[in-house]
Structure formats: structure tokens, C-alpha cells
Amino acid sequence: MRDRDATGVQVDDAEDRAERRTRQDWLDLALRTLVDEGIDNVKIQIMSKQLNVARSSFYWHFESREALQQAMLDDWLRKNTSPIIERAMRPAPDVIFAVINVFECWLDETLFSPALDMAVRLWARRSAEVRDVVTQADGIRVDALRRMFLRYAYPEEEALIRARTLYYTQIGQYTLEDFEAPEVRFSRGPAYLHIFSGQEPTAAHRAHLSKCIEEKFFVPLRAKMADKGGD
């Protein structure tokens, strides 16, 4: 339905505005707020003002704030866990190429968002339910990496330890916010491949890693910088 203002012009009521704001609009805003401000500021009233809709319109898409929070966790799992599993399962001629496939997640923030991952982990410190979800996600990710190493004939225990080393090294770096300059970080890529796999990378491995770094990191970075320069 539509109402008319004092001048007789039709104005949208809450139902119409709600229809123009999709469930994904609410979810995207909630996730951005989580990253930028923390879970305490993921509030219906605040977000409704930011979306320029009536507070009641939230309930067109979610039954409750708890339902929104569950959707946020589901979206985080989809965005930050599924790509790791997919790349760990991706066929590769040897284990070093397989590890490089996983490295793509650390290079491309559309495959794995460090900021979102850290925001969810901070949230988990305050909620036992969220902590359980995070613990389960970590287990799923590590298990996918473990199975990757098993495919290349590593013994069971060694496969698990290498998987944990690969995963927790990267997550720990995000947690500590210990980031080197990209040139320094990537110059050490072959050494990381050696440590994680126990095998010395060949020229073909190094070339493939360099190509991934260029395509997944530097090309999007240059494009982003060019967009900012044009603003």
C-alpha cells in the first residue's frame, strides 16, 4: 500500500520500503558493522536508520535478531570456509601445487576475508554458541587440509600436523596482525612451500606461485588503487 503526504504526493509505506531492501541488504550491513564496530552495534534500530527503512521492516526478512546472527554465521562459513575446502580438494599433480591452490585463499580476500574472520573470532570470545561454531569451522578447515596431505601419501599423523601447521600459521598471522610488506612476504613463499610440504619447490612450482600472486593479489590491488586515484 501507499500513503500520500501533505502535498498529495505518494510516499512509500514501511511495506514498500521493506520490499526494496532485501534480506541480503540487511545481512551485508550486519556483517560490515560486525567487522567495523563489533557485534554490540549490530542492532535493528541502528541498521534500520542506515537503510532508511522502518524498524519493523526488519521482520519481513528475519524472525529475530538471533535469526540475523545465525544468518551472519552461515554467511561467514560460506565465505571463509567453503573456498578452503574447495581448494584443498582441487586436483593437483603433486602436494606443492596442492598447497599453492590453498594459498589462493590467503591471497584473494574474495575467497577468504581476514577482517571478517577476526571479527567473528572476537564475537566468539563473548558467546559460547558462536565459539562452538568457530571451533567446528576450524576443525572442518584443518580436516580438509589433512585429507589433502593424505592424498599425497603422507602418514596419518604427519598429514594432520602439516595441516595444522599450514592452517594455524596463517590464522595466527591474522590474529597477531603481523604483516610484512608484500614484496618481503611473497619472496618467502617458496620457503613456506618447503616447510609445509617437506619438499623443495621446483622452478615450475615457483613460476606457478608467482603467477598466482600476480593474478590473485597484485592485479586486484592495482585495480583498487587505480579506482581510488580516479575518485
- Could you read off the pLDDT of 67-90 as tens digits, one per residue? 999 999 999 999 999 999 999 999
Question: For residue 179, what pLDDT band results from cuts at 50, 70 and 90?
Answer: confident
Closest CA to 63 of 33, 23, 25, 21: 23
The partner residues of 55 in beta bridges, in order of sequence, read: none
**What is the C-alpha separation between 130 and 120, in angstroms, rounded?**
8
Average pLDDT over every residue of 176-196: 90
91's grid cell: 586436483
**What is the C-alpha separation between 148 and 139, in angstroms, rounded?**
14
Single pTM value for the model: 0.86
Question: What pLDDT, on a 0 to 100 scale, did the predictor assign at position 230?
Answer: 57
222's grid cell: 592495482
